[in-house]
Amino acid sequence: MMSGGGYTSIDNQNVSGSVPAVSGSEHVSVKFTDSNLQTFPPAEARGKITGGFRPPSDADDTFSKPANGSSEESQPSGWMRNFMIAAYKPYFDVDTSDVLGRIKESLFPFKVSFMETTASNPDLYGPFWICTTLIFVAASIGTFVTYLAHKFQKKEWDYDINLVTWSAGLFYGYVTLVPLGLYIVLKYFSAPLGLVQLWCLYGYSLFIFIPALCLSIVPVEIFRWVIVGIAGFMSACFVSLNLRSHISSAGERWFLIVVGIFLLQLGLAVILKFYFFTVTV
């Protein structure tokens, strides 16, 4: 390069870039955080619907805390938790195969395996829908039977709305209060069973009355008595035989408790016959 009439030599240097090169001894490493992607369903999930709650494993621990030990600081504790919907979520954690399997077992009263099958996962889903179905089946068929009886005799007929309310009180009340009373009695005799287990047992024991009520539409009085009697006997055997082995530890009075359970279930069948299928015109 010429500068002021002379020549100044410049060393041949690499000036091709404006960013200095990084020395080879230094390395730049970039760290990436681990991904939070999860497999579906999560490995720790339990149950068929939710992994956060499970029914109690202890037969007498009716409303226990979640099995996975998850913290519920925002949820009420103690008895206040029983008034929260989340406390009953695990008792609806069943699928169609579970419900159908338990209904099938209720139709075979001498098999005596229902309590062992449902010990780890008693549900209230099946009992609720069985009772709800019974309410409308009993009210509708009872109404239809009285309608036919009045038409055959050419008499005026009026619909009785009290059949719906009365059947709702009967079935919901029976499946709630009778197991509750039995739970208190067994607690007193030091032979406790979980309250939800008893609700589950009694709820499924009523399923046999659904086909029995449907068959009672046949206008033959003897046939109705036979159908209701068979249904009541099967339901009573299902409850009493499944509870017999658990109640036997209650001492010498266990036999009286089993007999009382059997007679109460038969009494329910008799009430159904007299109230819904005894036609007065």
- 227 within a domain of the structure (yes/no): yes
The count of structural domains within the chain is 2
What is the extent of the structural domain holding 88? 51-93
Is 146 found in the same domain as 259? Answer: yes
Is 118 found in the same domain as 238? Answer: yes
Identify which of 22-36, 50-64, 76-90 has the greatest average pLDDT.
76-90
pLDDT digits (tens, 9 = 90+) for 215-257: 988 888 899 899 999 999 999 999 999 998 788 776 677 888 8
Is 70 found in the same domain as 177? Answer: no
- 14 within a domain of the structure (yes/no): no
| Mean pLDDT along residues 129-155 | 83
The identity of residue 156, as a single letter, is: E
Number of H helices, E strands in the chain: 8, 2
Is 152 found in the same domain as 243? Answer: yes
pLDDT for position 245: 79
CA distances from 174 to 171, 181, 186 (A): 5, 10, 18
- 110 within a domain of the structure (yes/no): yes
pLDDT digits (tens, 9 = 90+) for 196-226: 999 999 999 999 999 998 998 888 889 989 9
pLDDT for position 56: 46
Is 73 found in the same domain as 103? Answer: no
- pTM of structure: 0.69
Is 151 found in the same domain as 117? Answer: yes
Phi, psi (degrees; rounded to nearest 5) at 22: -85, 135
**Phi-psi group of 63: left, alpha or beta (phi > 0 → left; psi -120 to 50 → alpha; rest → beta):** beta
- 252 within a domain of the structure (yes/no): yes
Is 68 found in the same domain as 158? Answer: no
